[in-house]
Amino acid sequence: MMEVDPDPPHLIVAWRLRAIAPPPEFQVRRLSEPEALAAADKEISRLAVEQRFSGAALVARNGKPLLARAVGYADREHQIPNRLDTKFNLGSMNKMFTAVAIAELAQEGKLTFNDPMGKYLADYPNPQAARKVTIHNLLTHTGGTGDIFGPEFEANLEKLREPQDYVRLYGKRAPAFEPGSRWEYSNYGFVLLGAIIEKVSGQSYYDYIREHVYQPAGMTSSDSYWKTEKIPNQAIGYTRVGTSQLHPNYDSLPMRGSPAGGGYSTVTDLLSFANALLNHKLLSENYLRLVTTGKAAAPGGKYAYGFEDQSEGGVRWFGHGGGAPRHQRRFEDLSGLRIRRHRAGEPGPPGGHGPGRIHREAASGWTTATVLAARRVRKAGEVLSRLAPLRIENQGEEQ
């Protein structure tokens, strides 16, 4: 798929390859759950030996782990190995937490999705954006609010500590297009959602997420840590500059993660998050359906409220992956979680594709797979596609 700038000289702004379903005569034999788990375990070992994956992976069924592995090093210099309780940078996966927080406030009647952001950010620098961009637009990347990464971001890394710091830096920008007219990924839009959470709740964004998402979900090892903090069991992110050795990515990180991403968590905490969603500890059934149902056409499917909504191999999934900027300002997928609901007698998706596609035909329930990576290498996207990027899947009832 090619995306072209509508304005002259019509430069190519994005180029993506998307796999299509194989014809019936080329369908892959489906794996049983034991076969898929064994294949996933073998794949993790192979990728670790080839130094193409360093991180943790967990597969659970109905909330109970079936496979849990940690490979590689959280700190290469001191030879500290990754563990299941190692805290990894989530990249954009934090958008799920921000979206859930907004939905909680809507569920309590404290805001509505169609409210313009200016209703809560009364002193927002750009009046046009304040008046036209709604919370719905921010949650679906249809507000034209733009990105945060680039020269300005790199020049102000030490100053970006709270949502308002981003507003001071980017708030004068007008929407890049008429809000609601098209989809364009916007990290800044989710920072604005964080600012709205602060105004509505009267708490800092970080305190609200800690008290209303992490704590009720039982996520005891998740937070947006300060860059200067010494956190036990925290993985160092690594990036490869050209073809040289891996280097810590410390210099490319802001002082703290934002509502758009950059927090830390563990595979076990992410399983707790998935379980809390499915058991409606965070959102009611109606609000969970609202948040996870696609609303805007996006690459690969639809975008919901902070969750992707896509289908692959006949299976619908919803959730969010995570990536992080390299020194060259490129992005790589680093993390993922998938949960799929399946019922007795339903066919499973094709085998040979990793734990996120595990299926057991003899019983029904939920299958969850989480993957977090410590290394930022060129093959990260391939690694995570094999090991089921952190997303949430649902098969059966519509969500």
Q: Residue 324's pLDDT is what?
A: 59
Q: Residue 376's pLDDT is what?
A: 41
Asked if the bond preceding 349 is cis, omega within 30° of 0, the reply is no
pTM (2 d.p.)? 0.82
Given the residues 92, 221, 252, 258, the one annotated as active site: 92
* Contacts by residues 238-241 (CB-CB < 8 Å, ≥ 24 positions apart): 238/54, 238/76, 238/374, 238/375, 238/376, 238/377, 239/326, 239/327, 239/376, 239/377, 240/376, 240/377, 240/378, 241/327, 241/328
Residue range 247-268: average pLDDT? 88
Active site residue 92: yes
* Beta strands at 308-312 and 315-319: parallel, antiparallel or unpaired: antiparallel
pLDDT for 199-215, tens place per residue? 999 999 999 999 999 99
Q: Residue 201's pLDDT is what?
A: 98
Residue range 10-19: average pLDDT? 73
One of 3.30.1330.10, 3.40.710.10, 3.40.50.1100, 2.40.50.140 is the CATH number of 2-393, namely 3.40.710.10
Whether the pLDDT of residue 382 is over 50: the answer is: no
Which pLDDT band, with edges at 50, 70 and 90, does 341 fall under? low
How does the average pLDDT of the chain come out, rounded?
Answer: 81
Range scoring the smallest mean pLDDT among 188-192, 319-323, 385-389:
385-389
Residue boundaries of the structural domains of the chain? 2-393
68 vs 330, residue with greater confidence: 68
Which pLDDT band, with edges at 50, 70 and 90, does 2 fall under? confident
